[in-house]
């Protein structure tokens, strides 16, 4: 499409750099500096999409990030393959470049002819709350009928089909002053704030170039020069200052605690030459000492019948297209306004060669100097007039206007032909970030808007975002804000700016004599919310603005009601006959504009999503076919299948090998803490239930740790390496919290104890050798340690070396078999493992994983904290009361163990469960009942905590926590299965008796 509506000269576009964009398969022509919206208008294409609910034709309303209507699906890198498309991009912010493929949304079969538009005719049905009211019954229709249909029809645009192939960057930054918005106020603030070279200043603006509203402005002057000259000087000055970071295309979207402000920078979408691998967007997390918000304001639409016709635009936006992008959005323009600023649009459009008329809602007497200026320029101005409706199909063709009588009556109607309309209902300061900072808003009746009142954080607003609209006042405010942000050190630069047309008369809905129940006058364009819907919501009792918002959806979706909120609010206040502050405003939540998930996630995806902790033996396990499982952040070998084996077959082989020959297991993930110091034994006495004084150097003990409330917190073998040195092991998942728990008591309750706690989890690789042949495998490689039963009995520890590597050798067992845990420095872990494994071949050594480890420990009745226990189990509940010292006067949790409920009869206790069918394996977590025939709700008497197929026992085994379980041994109970119940007998929680040289842990 050529550019019939492009002006011959002017604008901030580069006519020497033509470019094309694919639009619904057609070629749009434009220039560097264009947005897709300006290219569409240059080609005469106003129809840019279909609306969400009624599928009404929609055009381009605005020129910025507040655009509610012109939403496009954009394939950013069509040439690089699939996955670069995303929906709901605002045509007004998508910078044009070669290679973009854009499509309109919400229509079928085509944009111009849309079957879904029948919804517009059916609209009497689709009132506010339609879904809530219609799909209530019959209940069974919900899953099968309603939900699938609603899901199909719901949503704006189409979600991407592929994982996002782009890269995203993430950056943290600190600044003395962060300024959001580089319009006149923001630039002025940056100039004063950065005048002190020691202050680091970041100036971010969502636009492609700084200047804000001045980019649209050909008439204002600053110090006698065109305003943009001042902007260029300011930018040059800031560019020359090393303490300033200027960020164009960077939106401040979230203001969090303690001046933590998040920005998203669009790095490469606008670049045709972006190299592959360049980040698409960059998330900036800025921590600023001081913040200046210079976020400007949004223009309000006017609400009248058919105000959504393509060709009806916001007045300032139309001016922007004419001046900044050198586009005439039509030949015949009607400016409909309640605001003085729209006269500037009329004058500029007239100067650009458009035919222009003005319809002003205000009476002539209420207008300012703008009225004379327009009339002097030969523009017909109808003051005291209203718009009854817009006429037209896919493009506005005329407005029906009428004078408003002094009594509010509607006078004789007049139809004015046009092909575009510029409307202005006044201005709304953009207080989103201020409000997110928890600042309090105040309603300023003078300018009919909420403005920043009390700051909660170290920030201040400047310019239009606090309701200043005159250029001179905006600049002065910006200079002052920047100076204030650095403690008033910089003196404001006095400048003289030309006066602007300011002031407006708030109007919620234009007066009309049409039957209000038969017309559509849109308040929220994006959600198709009309005046009728809001009136209905209030009539039905939704008086809180938050409720009205949720019931009608006004102010929701991608634009978050930037253009619509004040009209909706005013309308509700008017119906309720309350002042606006009494109605309040909806909450401004981040993000200010849509942010891609990619930007938020940054590099934290796929393998970088979460760090994976690997043991020193992980590489060997991977090479030897291990199937891994995540255990906390750790990656652990679950089992080692041989050719043709499934998990059950591998488990059978691994568990049998441990009991018949020897197994080798990577226990490096065990938490390890070294407790050292003159008071180490006393500290252990207080933290653990066991008594430690009698444990000799070289001895090991199974330690049990409680929380202060008396419930089991962690367990593990503890070795006394020396009088004042304990090597404590914890559960794999418990290591960090056990250390924290110990440090807590050491630092806060017993600071008098002379003890040091050190995490040594990562220092030691732990190789467990378990089984009757464990000693035979180990013996040839050990020096300085004698392995015989008498010299090195069960539950002792020795230091020496294995394979020439220093080691802490534990004689311990988590399987019931003869066992050693070889602790060697992590760097030697794989080498020692490989040596032992290779030498063990002649003994039938078998590597086993966590799954076999679990089965083996359950066979001999060892609990796993966190599996058998759930934070409500006492030592006695899990059969470990023997580990609780009766003589120690105190330890963490002791006092709680004698509270009445802790010693009450009938507590849930650890027992075994044997299914009637020995081949049936219960579900872990299955509930247990006494009688499956009892009425629902049944009385549950416990639950299954561990359940396995045990090859060594030749049957299934399970552990369970059962009410008063130990007294019920021998009773028959029933456990839930996916299809019903299965019978089982309560048994002691030990299933396998170890033969030969046994461990008696």
Partner 1 sequence: MLLIRCPYCGERPETEFHCGGEAHIARPDTPADISDADWGSFLYTRTNPKGLHAERWLHAHGCGRWFNALRDTVSDAFVTTYEMGTPRPDPISETAKA
* DSSP letter (8 states) at residue 364: G
Select 749 or 997, whichever has its Cβ closest to partner 1. Answer: 749
SS3 592: coil
Select 50 or 686, whichever has its Cβ closest to partner 1. Answer: 686
Select 744 or 993, whichever has its Cβ closest to partner 1. Answer: 744
Token readout for 749 is 């309750």
Select 202 or 658, whichever has its Cβ closest to partner 1. Answer: 202
The sign of the torsion formed by the CA atoms of 734, 736, 737, 738 equals positive
User: For residues 968 and 962, is the Cβ–Cβ distance under 8 A?
Assistant: yes
Select 65 or 457, whichever has its Cβ closest to partner 1. Answer: 457
Select 167 or 686, whichever has its Cβ closest to partner 1. Answer: 686
CB within 8 Å of 292: residues ≥ 6 apart: 177, 178, 179, 180, 186, 189, 193, 459, 460, 461, 462, 478, 481, 482, 485
Query: E-assigned strands of 887-1001?
Result: 908-915, 927-929, 940-950, 955-963, 972-977, 980-987
Minimum CB separation of residue 511 from partner 1 in Å reads 45
φ/ψ of residue 311, rounded to 5? 105, -15
Token readout for 482 is 């920047």
Select 15 or 260, whichever has its Cβ closest to partner 1. Answer: 260
What is d(CA 371, CA 360) in angstroms, rounded to the nearest whole number?
10
Start-to-end C-alpha separation, the chain: 85
Minimum CB separation of residue 256 from partner 1 in Å reads 6
Minimum CB separation of residue 741 from partner 1 in Å reads 10
Minimum CB separation of residue 634 from partner 1 in Å reads 19
Residue 939, CA distances (Å) to 288, 345, 772, 914, 931 in order:
58, 76, 45, 21, 9
Residue among 470, 435, 471 at smallest CA distance from 450:
435
Select 133 or 899, whichever has its Cβ closest to partner 1. Answer: 899
Minimum CB separation of residue 172 from partner 1 in Å reads 9
SS3 714: strand
Minimum CB separation of residue 747 from partner 1 in Å reads 5
What is d(CA 176, CA 169) in angstroms, rounded to the nearest whole number?
23
Select 563 or 761, whichever has its Cβ closest to partner 1. Answer: 761
Select 128 or 738, whichever has its Cβ closest to partner 1. Answer: 738
User: For residues 300 and 427, is the Cβ–Cβ distance under 8 A?
Assistant: yes
Select 328 or 441, whichever has its Cβ closest to partner 1. Answer: 441
Select 15 or 707, whichever has its Cβ closest to partner 1. Answer: 707
Select 122 or 456, whichever has its Cβ closest to partner 1. Answer: 456
- What is the biggest distance separating any 2 CA atoms in the chain, rounded to whole angstroms? 115
Q: Are strands 414-417 and 420-424 parallel, antiparallel or unpaired?
A: unpaired
Minimum CB separation of residue 670 from partner 1 in Å reads 21
Helices (H), 78-226: 118-121, 130-134, 141, 147-153, 184-193
Interaction site with partner 1 (CB under 8 A): 256-258, 260, 287, 438, 456, 708-709, 740, 743-744, 747-749, 751, 889-890, 894-896, 899-900
CA 732 from centre of chain: 30
Minimum CB separation of residue 287 from partner 1 in Å reads 7
What is d(CA 31, CA 909) in angstroms, rounded to the nearest whole number?
78
- Count of positions (residues) in the chain: 1001
Name the helix (H) or strand (E) containing 29. strand 26-32
Helices (H) and strands (E) in the chain, counts: 24, 50
Select 747 or 838, whichever has its Cβ closest to partner 1. Answer: 747
CB within 8 Å of 440: residues ≥ 6 apart: 453, 454, 456
What is d(CA 341, CA 320) in angstroms, rounded to the nearest whole number?
13
- Burial degree of 740 (CB within 10 A; 0-12, 13-18, 19+): exposed
Minimum CB separation of residue 440 from partner 1 in Å reads 12
Minimum CB separation of residue 261 from partner 1 in Å reads 11
Minimum CB separation of residue 485 from partner 1 in Å reads 18
What is d(CA 745, CA 890) in angstroms, rounded to the nearest whole number?
14
Angle at 761 between CA 757 and CA 765, to 5 degrees: 140
Token readout for 650 is 């591998």
Residue given tokens 């009209």 in the structure block? 567
Minimum CB separation of residue 462 from partner 1 in Å reads 24
Select 420 or 706, whichever has its Cβ closest to partner 1. Answer: 706
981 HSE (CA, 13 A, CB side): 17
φ/ψ of residue 620, rounded to 5? -60, -45
Select 141 or 756, whichever has its Cβ closest to partner 1. Answer: 756
Select 301 or 893, whichever has its Cβ closest to partner 1. Answer: 893
What is d(CA 376, CA 353) in angstroms, rounded to the nearest whole number?
16
φ/ψ of residue 379, rounded to 5? -95, 130
Minimum CB separation of residue 439 from partner 1 in Å reads 12
Minimum CB separation of residue 452 from partner 1 in Å reads 17
Minimum CB separation of residue 712 from partner 1 in Å reads 16
Token readout for 186 is 């923001």
User: For residues 305 and 519, is the Cβ–Cβ distance under 8 A?
Assistant: yes
User: For residues 54 and 119, is the Cβ–Cβ distance under 8 A?
Assistant: yes
Number of other residues whose CB lies within 10 A of the CB of residue 285: 16
Select 81 or 900, whichever has its Cβ closest to partner 1. Answer: 900
Minimum CB separation of residue 456 from partner 1 in Å reads 7
Minimum CB separation of residue 731 from partner 1 in Å reads 19
User: For residues 166 and 280, is the Cβ–Cβ distance under 8 A?
Assistant: yes
């Amino acid at each position: 499409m050529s550019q019939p509506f492009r002006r011959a000269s002017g604008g901030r576009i580069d006519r020497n750099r033509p470019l094309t964009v694919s639009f619904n398969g057609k070629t749009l022509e434009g220039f560097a500096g264009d947005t897709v919206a300006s290219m569409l208008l240059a080609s005469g294409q106003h129809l840019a999409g279909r609306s969400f609910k009624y599928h009404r034709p929609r055009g381009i309303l605005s020129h910025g990030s507040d655009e509610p209507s012109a939403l496009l699906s954009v394939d950013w890198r069509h040439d690089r393959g699939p996955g670069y498309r995303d929906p709901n991009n605002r045509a007004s912010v998508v910078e044009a470049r070669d290679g973009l493929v854009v499509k309109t949304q919400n229509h079928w079969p085509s944009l111009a002819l849309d079957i879904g538009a029948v919804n517009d005719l059916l609209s009497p049905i689709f009132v506010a709350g339609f879904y809530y009211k219609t799909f209530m019954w019959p209940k069974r229709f919900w899953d099968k009928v309603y939900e699938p249909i609603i899901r199909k029809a719901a949503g704006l645009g189409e979600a991407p089909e592929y994982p996002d192939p782009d890269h995203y960057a993430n950056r943290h930054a600190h600044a003395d002053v962060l300024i959001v918005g580089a319009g006149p106020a923001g630039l002025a603030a940056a100039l004063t704030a950065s005048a002190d070279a020691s202050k680091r200043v970041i100036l971010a603006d969502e636009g492609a170039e700084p200047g804000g509203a001045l980019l649209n402005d050909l008439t204002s002057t600053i110090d006698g020069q065109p305003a943009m000259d001042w902007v260029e000087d300011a930018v040059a000055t800031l560019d020359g200052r090393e303490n300033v970071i200027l960020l164009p295309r960077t939106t401040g979207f979230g203001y969090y605690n303690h001046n933590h402000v998040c920005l998203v920078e669009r790095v490469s979408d606008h670049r045709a030459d972006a190299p592959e691998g360049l980040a698409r967007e960059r998330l900036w997390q800025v921590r600023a000492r001081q913040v200046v918000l210079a976020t400007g304001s949004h223009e309000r639409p006017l609400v009248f019948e058919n105000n959504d016709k393509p060709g009806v635009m916001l007045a300032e936006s139309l001016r922007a297209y004419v001046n900044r992008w050198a586009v005439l959005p039509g030949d015949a323009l009607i400016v409909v306004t309640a605001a003085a600023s729209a006269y500037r649009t009329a004058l500029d459009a007239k100067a650009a060669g458009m035919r222009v008329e003005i319809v002003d809602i205000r009476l002539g007497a209420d207008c300012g100097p703008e009225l004379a200026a327009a009339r002097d320029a030969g523009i017909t101005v109808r003051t005291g007039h209203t718009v009854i409706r817009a006429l037209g199909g896919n493009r506005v063709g005329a407005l029906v206007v009428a004078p408003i009588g002094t009594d509010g009556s509607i006078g004789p109607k007049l139809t004015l032909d046009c092909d575009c309309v510029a409307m202005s209902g006044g201005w709304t300061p953009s207080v989103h970030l201020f409000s997110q900072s928890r600042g309090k808003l105040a309603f300023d009746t003078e300018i009919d808007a909420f403005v920043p009142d009390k700051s909660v954080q170290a920030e201040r607003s400047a310019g239009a975002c606090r309701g200043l609209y005159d250029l001179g006042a905006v600049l002065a405010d910006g200079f002052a804000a920047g100076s204030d942000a650095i403690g008033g050190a910089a003196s404001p630069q006095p400048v003289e700016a030309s006066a602007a047309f300011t002031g407006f008369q708030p109007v919620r809905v234009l007066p009309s004599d049409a039957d209000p129940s038969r017309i559509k006058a849109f308040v929220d364009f994006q959600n198709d919310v009309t005046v009728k819907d809001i009136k209905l919501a209030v009539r039905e009792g939704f008086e809180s603005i938050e409720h009205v918002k949720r019931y009608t959806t006004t102010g929701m979706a991608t634009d978050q009601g930037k253009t619509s909120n004040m009209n909706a609010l005013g309308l509700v206040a008017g119906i309720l006959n309350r002042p606006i502050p009494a109605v309040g405003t909806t909450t401004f939540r981040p993000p200010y504009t849509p942010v891609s998930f990619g930007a938020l996630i940054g590099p934290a995806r796929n393998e970088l999503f979460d760090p994976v902790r690997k043991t020193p033996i992980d590489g060997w396990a991977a090479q030897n076919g291990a199937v891994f499982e995540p255990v906390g952040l750790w990656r652990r070998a679950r089992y080692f299948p041989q050719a043709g084996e499934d998990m059950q077959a591998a488990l059978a082989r691994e568990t049998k090998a441990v009991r018949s020959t020897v197994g080798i297991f990577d226990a490096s993930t065990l938490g390890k803490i070294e407790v050292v110091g003159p008071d180490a034994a006393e500290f252990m006495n207080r933290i653990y239930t066991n008594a430690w004084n009698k444990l000799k150097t070289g001895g090991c003990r199974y330690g049990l740790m409680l929380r202060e409330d008396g419930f089991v917190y962690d367990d593990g073998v503890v070795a006394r390496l020396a009088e004042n040195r304990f090597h404590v092991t914890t559960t794999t998942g418990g290591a960090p919290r056990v250390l924290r728990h110990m440090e807590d008591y050491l630092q806060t309750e017993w600071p008098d104890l002379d003890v040091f706690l050190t995490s040594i989890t990562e220092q030691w690789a732990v190789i467990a050798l378990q089984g009757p042949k464990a000693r035979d495998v180990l013996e040839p490689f050990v020096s300085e340690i004698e392995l015989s039963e008498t010299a090195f009995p069960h539950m002792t520890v020795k230091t020496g070396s294995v394979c020439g590597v220093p080691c802490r050798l534990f004689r311990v067992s988590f399987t019931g078999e003869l066992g050693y845990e070889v602790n060697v420095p992590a760097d030697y872990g794989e080498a020692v493992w490989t040596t032992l494994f290779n030498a063990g071949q002649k003994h039938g050594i078998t590597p086993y994983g966590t799954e076999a480890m679990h089965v083996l420990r359950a066979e001999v009745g060892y609990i796993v904290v966190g599996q058998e226990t759930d934070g409500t189990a006492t030592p006695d509940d899990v059969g470990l009361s023997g580990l609780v010292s009766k003589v120690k006067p105190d330890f963490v949790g002791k006092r709680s163990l004698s509270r009445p409920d802790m010693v009450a009869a009938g507590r849930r206790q650890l027992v075994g469960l044997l299914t009637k069918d020995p081949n049936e394996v219960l579900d872990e977590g299955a509930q247990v009942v006494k009688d499956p025939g009892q009425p629902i709700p049944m009385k549950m008497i416990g639950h299954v905590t561990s359940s396995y197929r045990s090859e060594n026992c030749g049957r299934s085994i399970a552990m369970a926590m059962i009410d008063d379980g130990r007294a019920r041994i021998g009773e028959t109970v029933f456990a839930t299965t996916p299809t019903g119940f299965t019978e089982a007998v309560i048994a002691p929680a030990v299933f396998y008796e170890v033969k030969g040289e046994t461990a008696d842990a």
